[in-house]
Structure 1
C-alpha cells in the first residue's frame, strides 16, 4: 500500500499522470493502475479525471493528508533502521529562499564534518514554495523567514536576524552616506528580486510605509544576478547585510545601513512537526541549534 500512497504524493506534486509516473520510475499504465487499486481498496474515488488529471476529490484530499503522514513515518523508520546498522547516511534535501542561500554552507559544512556519509541537495525557492514542498515531502527542511508569514505545522529554529543595506557605488547618489532612510532609498533606481519573493514583499512594504514605492529598473529571482549588476558600480540594490558580506564588496562598493525604521526579520530552519523525526532531520535540527547558539 505504501507504494500506492507514494503514487498519490507524486500526483499531488506533478498534477499530471505521465510526469508523476516518471517521477516514481514506473510506466503510466502501472501508475494509473496503482491509483485505481488504491481507490478500489478504500472504496472511494480519489482523483477527478477525464483523459487528464483534473484534481482530487474531497475524499482524495483527506487521503492525501493521511498519505503524507504515513509515507513520512515509513521513510523515517527505514532511515532509522539503516542508520542503526551503518550510521547516519542518505541525502538531505533543503530548499532555501534566495537571500539565505549564501548562509546554507554555515549549516551543511559542520553537519558533513560530523556525518560524512550524508549528501545534500540545495534548492532555491520562494518562501511559499518551500512550505508547499515540505508539506508534500519534496524536501526535508527549509531556510526561510519565520516571523513574516504563517508557518503552519512546522517546527522552526531561529538562525540569524536579517538586516537591510543599500548596496551602491561610492560615487552614486547616497553613496557617501553613513546611513540612509527608507524614504531616501525609495527615490533612487533599484534592482530588486521579483514580486513573488518574500524579500521583495518586505522591501515593498517598508518603502510604502515610508511614503514611496518600488519601481525597479531590473528584477530577477536570483540574488547573484542582482549582485553582479551592483558590482559594476552602475546599479543599486537593497540586500541583507549577511548576504552582502558573504558575496564580498569591491573597493568602490558600499553597504550602507537603512534606518527609519531599522527593520529586521528572522531567518530560520523549518522542518515538519513530526515525532519521531527522521534521523537526518533530527541531526540537522541539532546542527541548527548549535549554529543558533553561535550566530553566523
Structure 2
C-alpha cells in the first residue's frame, strides 16, 4: 500500500472538498480521486460517501481513520530519522499554542530555529482542547498549553513559566482602583476571553472559589481584539502578565497587578507520550528543557 494514497484519504477528510484536498496534496483532482479509489480497491471497502461531492466517511472510513493517521505519522518519522542519522533535522515542525502563551512561544520558536536552522516551524493559535485533540490525531508535533488546570492526558510536559493576571485599562478611560482585589473586578465593566478558552475557565474557577462571578459585557477569542476594545476606554480586561509586558511603553495602556490566586498556572511544552518518540517531538522537548525565558517570566 502506498502511503501517498493514505495521504489523499486524510487530506480529503481534513478539507472535506475534493478540489481543496487535491490542492493541499499538489495533485490534480482526478489524480486524488483515482488514488482514493485505488485505496478503496486495495482494502475492498468503500471509504468515502459520494453524492456529486464529498459527503463524509463511510463506517469503514471512520474505522481506519486513526490507523491512517498513525501510519502517515510513522512514515514521516521514519523518513526524518533516516535523514538525520548523519545530517541536520529538516522538515516542518507543527506547533500549536494557546493564545495566552504566544509571547513566550516566540522565544521558544527562536530557540528551535537557532538549534535547528534547517527546520521550518508552523505555529497555530489553538485552544488547549484543540491542542490535546490534534496531538492525539498526529496533526501536531508539540503544543504550548496549561499544565495544571485540566491537565493534558497522555502527554509528556516541560514547564516553561507560571502565569499571573494583570488588569489592563486605558489611562484616560474608566477609573480603576490602584490596588484592586477580586471583589473590585466583579464590579468593573469587563471584556474577556470566552469560556471556550482555558484562561477564562481558570479565572472563573478562581472567582467561584471566592463566591464571585465575572459577567463580561464583551467576549472575544483573541487578546488583540480585547486590547482594541480596552483602548477605547469604556471597558477593561484581565490578561496574563506576559501580554502586559508587550504593552510597556504604550502611552494609552495602564497595567495594574492583581492579587495572587495562591495556585500556579504553569504553561509548558507538551508532546504525546508515545514510544518510539519522533525526532521532532524529541527536539522540541530538548529545546524546552534548556530554554531560559527573559526577565519578567517566572516558574513557580
TM-score range, shorter chain: 0.7 to 0.9
The aligned residue for residue 7 of structure 1 is 8
Structure 2 residue ranges without an equivalent (≥5):
none
CA distance in 2 between partners of 1:149 and 1:14 (Å):
30
TM-score, structure 1 as length reference = 0.86
Post-superposition Cα deviations, 1:214-235, rounded to whole Å, max 9, x if no partner, equal 3333333221232344456553
The answer to whether structure 1 residue 142 and structure 2 residue 113 are counterparts is no
Distance in structure 1 (CA, Å) of the matches to 2:151 and 2:42: 36
Contact 1:164–1:239, Cα closer than 8 Å, also in 2? yes
Q: How far apart are 1:288 and its partner, in Å?
A: 1.0
Structure 2-normalised TM-score?
A: 0.85
**Aligned-partner SS, 1:269:** strand
Q: Deviations over 1:120-140 (max 9, x none)?
A: 222212223323333343332
How many residue pairs end up in the alignment? Answer: 293
Q: Residue 268 of structure 1: SS of its match in structure 2?
A: strand
Range moving further from structure 2, 29-38 or 197-206: 197-206
Partner of 1:193: 193
What pairs up with 1:129-278 in 2 under 5 angstroms?
A: 129-149=130-150, 151-169=152-170, 172-177=174-179, 179-181=180-182, 183-230=183-230, 234-248=234-248, 250=250, 253-259=254-260, 261-278=261-278
Segment of structure 1 superposing worse, 61-70 or 268-277 = 268-277
1:124 equivalenced with 2:136 (yes/no): no
> 1:92 maps to which residue?
93
Name structure 1 gaps, 5 residues minimum: none
Once structures 1 and 2 are overlaid, which stretch shifts more, 66-75 or 10-19?
Answer: 10-19
User: For the structure 1 residues 197 and 29, does the alpha-carbon distance in structure 2 shift closer, same or farther, using more than 3 Å as the test?
Assistant: same
CA contact (8 A) 2:185 2:214 kept: no
CA distance, structure 2, for counterparts of residue 46 and residue 155 of structure 1: 34
1:107–1:291 Cα contact (<8 Å) kept = yes
How far residue 169 of structure 1 moved from its aligned partner, in angstroms, is 5.0
Matching residue of 2:35: 34
Kindly indicate whether the alpha-carbon contact (under 8 Å) linking 2:158 and 2:288 is maintained by their aligned counterparts in 1.
yes
Name the residue aligned to 2:74: 73
Deviation at 1:202, TM superposition (A): 2.7
Give the corresponding residue for 1:56: 57
